[in-house]
Amino acid sequence: ARGIRREGARAVGTLLAATGIVIALAGAALAAFPRADHWWLDGLEHLAPAVQAAFLTPYERQVAADSREAIARSRAELARLRALQADVQWGLRTLPEEQRERLRQFTVSRDEIMTGDRLVLATLKQRARERQRLALGVPLALAGALLTAAALRRRPRPAPGRV
């Protein structure tokens, strides 16, 4: 803000150029490396799930919805079972040894099932990324490059005697 007040349009041009560079790099990275971790796209998909859903087939969207529901159910069930295990461990409730072992095994298996559902979501995310690489990555890279070029072209030169 101080730079904008001090240098005016020149500082805004620099900010727009830097923004364009970041956008161009993000788009190029998505186009070149769709399997990499794109935190900006993860955040966008978290805020607007339709961004990912648009790149999934109807069947894949249904699988994703089913997996999310299963994960939510598993979390609730695991919380309940772990609370029961804690109560047994601290002596607030008693269970026969056989039931304690079954509870432990069920908790482990439920956790593994939830991990499997997360793996399904990760696989669907990768499929969407492969489809997004050209539909989002290339246009973002071009838009960022154009923004950078326009910002640098319109950026006023410093006044004589100023650097």
Task: Please check the confidence at residue 68 and state whether its pLDDT lies above 90.
Answer: yes
Q: Is the pLDDT of residue 62 over 80?
A: yes
Q: Using the predicted structure, report yes or no on whether residue 158 has a pLDDT greater than 90.
A: no
Q: What is the CA radius of gyration of the chain?
A: 26
pLDDT of residue 84: 93
* C-alpha of 60 from chain center: 18
Span 80-109, average pLDDT: 93
- Angle at Cα 115 formed by Cα 47 and Cα 69, nearest 5°? 50
- CB contact at 8 A, 28 and 137: yes
- Residues contacting 146, CB < 8 A, separation 6+: 20
pLDDT of residue 15: 84
Enter the pTM of the model.
Answer: 0.77
Nearest to 132 by CA among 67, 38, 19: 38
Is the pLDDT at 115 greater than 60? The verdict is yes
For 18-28, how does the pLDDT look when each residue is reduced to its tens digit (9 = 90+)? Answer: 999 999 999 99
Residue 5 has pLDDT above 80, yes or no: no
Q: What percentage of residues in the chain have a pLDDT greater than 90? A: 80
